[in-house]
Structure 1
Amino acid sequence: MHEEPILRIDHLNKTFGDGCAHCQQSETYEMKINYCPYCSTTYACQDISLELYSGEILGIVGESGSGKSTMMQCLYFDMDVTSGGAYIKDTEVEEENLFELSSQKKRYVRNYKYGMVYQNPVHGLKMNFSSVGNIAEKLIAAGNRNVSEMEAISKRLLESVHIPPYRMKQEPRNFSGGMQQRVQIAKALSNNPPVLFLDEVTTGLDLSVQANVLDLIKNIQRELGISMIVVSHDLAVIRMLADRTVVMLDGKVIEEGLTDQILEDPQHAYTQQLVYSLL
């Protein structure tokens, strides 16, 4: 029996601009990459379809501007899509297009089904709240009102991402980049989401700190069996984490397959270039 995906994305499109007669006839007119020089419309995501299965890590790799972070922001409802669908395995919203849900139902999906770790911790954390307070904020959004229970959950999660007890009441603005990312991961895990999004989580971190964060992600995935979508421009990160990999270029998926297969036998010229630059 074929396994049902936990999250399915169908023909996702995200366009910045209204388009014009030139770029809307793209069969006959070649756009400059994914940008129309006539009307300045950018086609950030073009007809993206993906499936994420239970307990797997799906890697999305591509250079800056390939549309991978835009796709993540659309999935997490930080941005409206232009067209397309997303479907999650959940009795509350079974077979409903997530992009077309009411704002109340979108909040439900964000609070119970999704966790998000942003490239820049400023987008995922309130820098002037304590670390415990940041996690409590997510728990309150999901309806928890028991203060001592929220404090216990927050401390347990911060411990699991190696934040020392004496720093748990401190504000993330006083932390290093690596520690801020670990607090974000703890916050994202607070409601046991079945799906976790990680957007360029190691960018800008020292190599040793990167390795610690990647180890932490791998251990969390092993212990909790969460499904993850990991976005990176760094194939080394994808190689360490991902079971399957999708390669994006100019807003399109150009290659996908098992990570080992893509690393050992890349088909597309761009993927070959990425792989050989890693060797």
Structure 2
Amino acid sequence: MQEQPVLSIKNLSKQYGEGCAHCEAADAQLEKNFCPHCKTVYACRNISFDVYRGEILGIVGESGSGKSTFMKSLYFDEEVTTGEGYLRDFEDGQTNIFTQSDQMKRYIRNTILGMVYQNPMLGLKMDFSSMSNIAEKQIAAGNRHVRNMEARSLSLLEHVNIPLHRSKEAPKNFSGGMQQRVQIAKALSNNPPILLLDEVTTGLDLSVQADVLDLIKSIQREFNISMIVVSHDLAVIRMLADRTIVMLNGEIIEHGLTDQVLEDPQHEYTQQLVYSLL
């Protein structure tokens, strides 16, 4: 019996603009993912893939390839234009999450998905204490037991190597690497089966990057959590991802096992990406 994916995405598209006869034609002449006639941007075009329990899926591509727009769409920060998404932990994977009410989308965000943004200011309240940030996610999921929330928050902060004597300190006083670790702790607070990580090492010093990547890998092993990791850095993808998707101009141009994609790239763009590192 074939394993059911924890997440299945089918033909997800996201466009900014109404489109026109030129860009909606079968032989549309776009400039990358942009229509020069009506100025519509096709940020994601017919994205489809599955993610399985305990797997890390990497999404790699240059700036503007659509990978971050996809992550925002999956976490309901953006409304998809068309497409379907199914979560095994939501109605047994039978219901399209993108057609749900705002209330149900909030429930999915708060209980099934965890998100770590590239910019910690999007994922954390910088003036609240680290403990309060983690508790906020638990409260949103319906937890009302203060002692349990405190214990969970301290346990997670310890897990991500934040000194407990700083647990009541605001993240605005922390370094970039520490802010990312608080974000990871917050995202894990309700034991989500799927964690989304969007360019989480960008802008960090190399030694701090290594610490954050080691933390992500250890969390994945310990909790058997599924992850989607977006990065423009192939070294990050090589270290973390079991399978990799390569995006260009809003489309998936290559996918496969990470070793296979990086050792024997088939698409010309992937070849350029890989060889630029050599």
User: Do both share a fold (TM > 0.5)?
Assistant: yes
Write out per-residue CA displacement over residues 190-211 of structure 1, whole angstroms, 9 at most, x where no aligned residue: 0000000000000000000000
CA RMSD of aligned residues (A): 0.8
Q: CA deviation at 1:94?
A: 3.6
Q: Which residue of 1 aligns with 2:17?
A: 17
Whether 2:107 is the aligned partner of 1:130: answer no
Q: Which residue of 1 aligns with 2:267?
A: 268
Please list every run of at least 4 consecutive aligned residues from structure 1 whose deviation after the TM superposition is greater than 4 angstroms.
none
Write out per-residue CA displacement over residues 193-233 of structure 1, whole angstroms, 9 at most, x where no aligned residue: 00000000000000000000000000000000000000000
Q: CA deviation at 1:92?
A: 3.5
Whether 2:48 is the aligned partner of 1:53: answer no
Q: Flag structure 1 segments of 5+ consecutive residues without an equivalent.
A: none
Q: Which amino acid aligns with 2:157?
A: L
Identity level (%): 69
Give 3-state SS (helix, strand or coil) of 1:247's partner: strand
Q: Which residue of 2 aligns with 1:8?
A: 8
Give 3-state SS (helix, strand or coil) of 1:129's partner: coil
Q: Which residue of 1 aligns with 2:205?
A: 206
Q: For 2:101 and 2:83, locate their aligned partners in 1 and report how far apart those are by CA, in whole Å.
A: 16
Q: CA deviation at 1:38?
A: 1.0
Q: For 1:20 and 1:272, locate their aligned partners in 2 and report how far apart those are by CA, in whole Å.
A: 33
Give 3-state SS (helix, strand or coil) of 1:144's partner: coil
Q: CA deviation at 1:91?
A: 5.2
Q: Which amino acid aligns with 1:5?
A: P
Q: Which residue of 1 aligns with 2:147?
A: 148
Write out per-residue CA displacement over residues 220-251 of structure 1, whole angstroms, 9 at most, x where no aligned residue: 00000000000000000000000000000000
Q: For 1:201 and 1:33, locate their aligned partners in 2 and report how far apart those are by CA, in whole Å.
A: 26
Q: Flag structure 2 segments of 5+ consecutive residues without an equivalent.
A: none
Give 3-state SS (helix, strand or coil) of 1:24's partner: coil
Q: For 1:127 and 1:89, locate their aligned partners in 2 and report how far apart those are by CA, in whole Å.
A: 33
Q: CA deviation at 1:29?
A: 3.2
TM alignment of 1:96-115, pairs within 5 A: 96-115=95-114
TM alignment of 1:1-279, pairs within 5 A: 1-25=1-25, 27-90=26-89, 92=91, 94-279=93-278
Q: CA deviation at 1:278?
A: 1.7
Q: For 2:159 and 2:111, locate their aligned partners in 1 and report how far apart those are by CA, in whole Å.
A: 20
Q: Which amino acid aligns with 2:174?
A: F
TM-score, structure 1 length as denominator? 0.98
Relative to structure 1, the CA distance from residue 91 to residue 97 in structure 2 (aligned partners, 3 Å threshold; closer, same or farther) is closer
